[in-house]
């Protein structure tokens, strides 16, 4: 028996999954905390389809390493190079669309990132041993009428906690949490869209519904949804570390599968985090709703309570003071944050280095360590980010930020999950 580090490595070794096996539904290796930051960032970009539009040299430049170094790092940790990882991702996404939708094959090829139908046909045949048409004929379930993707994850997942956390912070007009589902407005492929994410009651997977998105945006939408709900987490690895500490052991036992709630848009989360400095969650939500109503773009085809697209960095950076009705210091911080992102001086995208982004955030006057750590934790998906200065965390663990940081050191590399359990402990103690 041989164990290989990735599906791409298996394909490189000449192996092919049987038609019952679904390697494309497994959480991607970018979630593995033991991988170097460069590996995780490279995989996030590959998973979002970066190499479908750009050469490997461009990916290396984004990550500030040489192309040769990038190939070596990925081969060492995943057993395959960037092009092979991208090829496996394309084939997996194509199979998901073939199985779960009635999209024409040309649209499936475009959404999966193929530049030609011929290449699409060749890679599907090589990967699955049948043509795309034969693969669709063999599916066991009818396609959904809307574009609905089923995103698998490793159970357990505490959906009740995740949805409650998002509901308390949902920006009116932009987000809703109703009927056990999270929905929001979004920009996909330059077009306004609406996405909805809900748990599948019968299987360990999330159902992602996409409405109004442009062609070629399914991969991006799926990647964002996975980050939002932390679908790539490995709960067994997290809980094996945290369960050993009495400070969080009770929460770990009572709430298996507690995830770190993510964000659809890290910039939106960053703005929300700045608005939430030293105020209640409700007050921050009100401020974010006011900002969206004044500076956001109305949704052309509004659906119920979803009416507005969150403002772009340019819109906030150029907004007059009257549109940023908040204390002067907070207004300067929000405007500086938006300006840095708009100018490209601060990277909060999928390739962002969490440590570099944290340093960039701390250079903005009015943004402190708590805000930077919170953004890294939820927006940049750093599983070891830990807001040690958080008042609730300090109250539960006792001591100042430095003492709390030392106390949580044994939880590495899962301190972000420890923070969520501490917040949950404090909430349940009320």
More confident residue, 429 or 247: 247
The pLDDT value recorded for residue 145 is 47
Please give the average per-residue pLDDT across 14-21, as a whole number.
74
User: Left, alpha or beta for 267 (phi > 0: left; psi -120 to 50: alpha)?
Assistant: alpha
For domain 7-137, the CATH superfamily is: Homeodomain-like (1.10.10.60)
pLDDT per position as a tens digit, 124-171: 998 888 899 988 887 655 554 468 999 999 999 999 999 999 999 999
Q: Tell me the percentage of the chain whose pLDDT exceeds 70.
A: 95
Rounded CA separation 149/210 (Å) = 8
The pLDDT value recorded for residue 144 is 47
Rounded CA separation 50/35 (Å) = 20
Please give the average per-residue pLDDT across 392-418, as a whole number.
96
Rg (CA), the chain: 22
Under the banding of pLDDT at 50, 70 and 90, the label for residue 201 is: very high
Please give the average per-residue pLDDT across 93-98, as a whole number.
90
Rounded CA separation 269/239 (Å) = 26
The pLDDT value recorded for residue 128 is 85
Q: Tell me the percentage of the chain whose pLDDT exceeds 90.
A: 72
| 7 pLDDT more than 60 | yes
Close Cβ partners of 315 (under 8 Å, ≥ 6 residues apart):
295, 296, 338
pLDDT per position as a tens digit, 207-237: 999 998 777 888 889 999 999 999 999 999 9
The most confident of the ranges 38-47, 92-101, 174-183 is: 174-183
Mean pLDDT of the chain: 91
Rounded CA separation 2/312 (Å) = 48
What is the CATH number that goes with domain 266-428?
Answer: 1.10.340.30
Please give the average per-residue pLDDT across 384-388, as a whole number.
96
Domain ranges across the chain: 7-137, 266-428
pLDDT per position as a tens digit, 339-367: 999 999 999 998 889 999 999 999 999 99
Q: Known catalytic residues?
A: 390
Please give the average per-residue pLDDT across 325-343, as a whole number.
96
3-state SS of the chain is CCCCCCHHHHHHCCCCCCCCCCHHHCCCHHHCCCCCHHHHHHHHHHHCCHHHHCCHHHHHHHHCCCHHHHHHHHHHHHCCCHHHHHHHHHHHHHHHHHHHCCCCHHHHHHHHCCCCHHHHHHHHHHHHCCCHHHHHHCCCCCCCCCEEEEEECCCCCCHHHHHHHHHHHCCCCCEEEECCEEEEEEEECCEEEEEEEEECCCCCEEEEEEECCCCCCHHHHHHHHHHHHCCCCCHHHHHHHHCCCHHHHHHHHHCCCCCCCCCCCHHHHHHHHHHCCCCCHHHHHHHHHHHHHHHCEEEEEEECCEEEECCCHHHHHCCCHHHCCCCHHHHHHHHHHHHHHHHCCCCCCCCCCHHHHHHHHHCCCCCCHHHHHHHHHHCCCCCCCCCCCCHHHHHHHCCCHHHHHHHHHHHCCCHHHHHHHHHHHHHHCC
């Amino acid at each position: 028996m041989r164990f290989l580090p990735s599906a791409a490595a298996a394909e490189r070794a000449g192996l092919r999954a049987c038609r019952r096996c679904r390697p494309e539904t497994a959480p991607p290796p970018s979630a593995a905390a033991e991988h170097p930051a460069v590996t995780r960032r490279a995989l996030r970009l590959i998973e979002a389809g970066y190499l479908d539009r750009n050469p490997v040299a461009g990916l290396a430049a984004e990550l500030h390493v040489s192309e040769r170094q990038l190939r070596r790092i990925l081969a060492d940790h995943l057993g395959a190079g960037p092009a092979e990882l991208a090829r496996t991702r394309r084939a997996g996404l194509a199979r998901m669309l073939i199985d779960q939708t009635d999209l024409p094959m040309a649209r499936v090829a475009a959404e999966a990132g193929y530049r030609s139908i011929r290449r699409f046909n060749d890679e599907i045949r090589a990967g699955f041993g049948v043509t795309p048409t034969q693969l669709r004929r063999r599916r066991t379930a009818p396609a959904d009428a809307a574009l609905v993707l089923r995103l698998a994850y490793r159970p357990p997942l505490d959906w009740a906690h995740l949805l409650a956390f998002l509901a308390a912070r949902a920006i009116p007009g932009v987000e809703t949490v109703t009927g056990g589902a999270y929905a929001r407005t979004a920009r996909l492929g330059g077009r306004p869209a609406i996405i909805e994410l809900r748990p599948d009651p019968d299987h360990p997977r999330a159902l992602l519904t996409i409405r109004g998105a442009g062609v070629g945006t399914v991969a991006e939408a799926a990647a964002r949804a996975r980050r939002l709900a932390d679908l790539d987490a490995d709960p067994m690895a997290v809980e094996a570390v945290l369960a050993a500490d009495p400070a969080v052991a009770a929460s770990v036992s009572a709430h298996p599968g507690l995830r770190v709630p993510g964000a659809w848009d890290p910039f939106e989360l960053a703005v929300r985090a700045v608005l939430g400095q030293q105020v209640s969650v409700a007050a921050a939500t009100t401020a974010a709703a006011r900002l969206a109503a004044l500076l956001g773009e109305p949704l052309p085809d509004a659906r119920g309570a979803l009416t507005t697209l969150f403002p772009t960095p340019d819109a906030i950076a150029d907004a007059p003071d009257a549109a940023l009705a908040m204390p002067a210091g907070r207004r300067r911080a929000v405007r500086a944050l938006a300006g840095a992102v708009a100018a490209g001086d601060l990277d909060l995208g999928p390739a962002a280095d969490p440590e570099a982004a944290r340093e960039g955030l701390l250079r903005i006057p009015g943004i402190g360590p708590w805000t930077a750590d919170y953004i890294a934790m939820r927006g940049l998906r750093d599983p070891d980010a830990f807001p040690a200065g958080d008042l609730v965390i300090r109250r539960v663990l006792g001591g100042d930020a430095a003492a709390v940081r030392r106390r949580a050191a044994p939880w590495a590399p899962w301190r972000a999950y420890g923070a969520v359990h501490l917040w949950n402990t404090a909430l349940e103690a009320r």
